[in-house]
Structure 1
């Protein structure tokens, strides 16, 4: 039943909840059972979760730049996914990254495609606003997952959610993946260290 409810919730966010598609995948009996239990309603050939149905699933929201994906990113998203039933990831817009005095290496359209391909991720999209709290209102998550180095304060997120009529919990994932190249900065430094000397050597040989 939970898989059905997850599918419908994701479909609502994507605006893809055609009754015939849900029936084709799960069968009429499953849909009828969910309707009788008050988890879903069918309107104008669209399937929607009721409040009761929405309360049966836990949605986790995570965000980040995800510039040059590495094992640390995958570890963080895996841990975030373990906190609930659905993991939604917001990938920072290029303009947002620049406003934080960084220049993204990989464009946001490519970064979001890579994040979408990761196994723990159910849904990923590019941030639509400079204000992270606008995303909270759109997704209405139960949990906001924060990485060990993300600057947001848990209590501030919870208070802002409450101010906007949401009851959510912010969770800091303090663990991190220990590996040789566990940050974008380390990867870039390795590229510089290993390639620039070779470039200079080739120029000297000409």
Structure 2
């Protein structure tokens, strides 16, 4: 852990699972303070919208010991919370759809000076462990629907 280093992680965090916990733990280890931005439901366009409300997802993330601050993202401008937080590092999840170079270029264009890093992957510990919200929902449907 680096003293005085602020890290931002972001994501949907729907149906919190061990993959999310690994990502946020990895991000927290990159600095001394971890801020998490939880995507607003209406801004999730790259996949199925979340099942849980913005508040519920934020509250679940905030309850994790590795998270210092959690907030819901801005409704119109993803850079508003980044400007507010002024991070040293933005940590991407190992499988998030964002490209490091594109994020770095967008940050530079916004005048935000920070490093972009990608968290390490986490493999399931056994064949029954699910590390994807989609797979969790599929399993629920298989077993309960």
Fold conserved between structures, TM > 0.5? yes
| Structure 1 residue aligned with 2:6 | 59
Contact 1:136/1:161 (8 A) holds in 2? no
Unaligned 5+ runs, structure 2: none
Distance 1:101 1:186, change over 3 A: closer
Query: How far has the Cα of 1:177 moved from its partner?
Result: 4.2
| Structure 1 residue aligned with 2:29 | 82
Describe the superposition over 1:56-108 as per-residue Cα deviations: whole angstroms up to 9, x where unpaired. Answer: 611000000000010010010000000001000000111112x3352321111
Contact 1:75/1:177 (8 A) holds in 2? no
| Structure 1 residue aligned with 2:139 | 190
Provide the TM-score with structure 1 as the length reference: 0.64
Contact 1:64/1:92 (8 A) holds in 2? yes
Q: How far, CA to CA, are the matches of 2:73 and 2:65 in structure 1? A: 20
Unaligned 5+ runs, structure 1: 1-55, 197-206
Q: How far, CA to CA, are the matches of 2:133 and 2:80 in structure 1? A: 27
Aligned residue among 167, 172, 176 for 2:113: 167
Rg: which structure is higher?
1
Distance 1:171 1:101, change over 3 A: closer
Misfit runs of 4+, over 4 Å? none
Q: 1 or 2, which has the higher helix percentage?
A: 1
Distance 1:163 1:85, change over 3 A: same
Provide the TM-score with structure 2 as the length reference: 0.89
How many residue pairs get aligned? The number is 140
Taking only aligned residues, the RMSD between alpha carbons, in angstroms, comes to: 1.6
Distance 1:151 1:91, change over 3 A: same
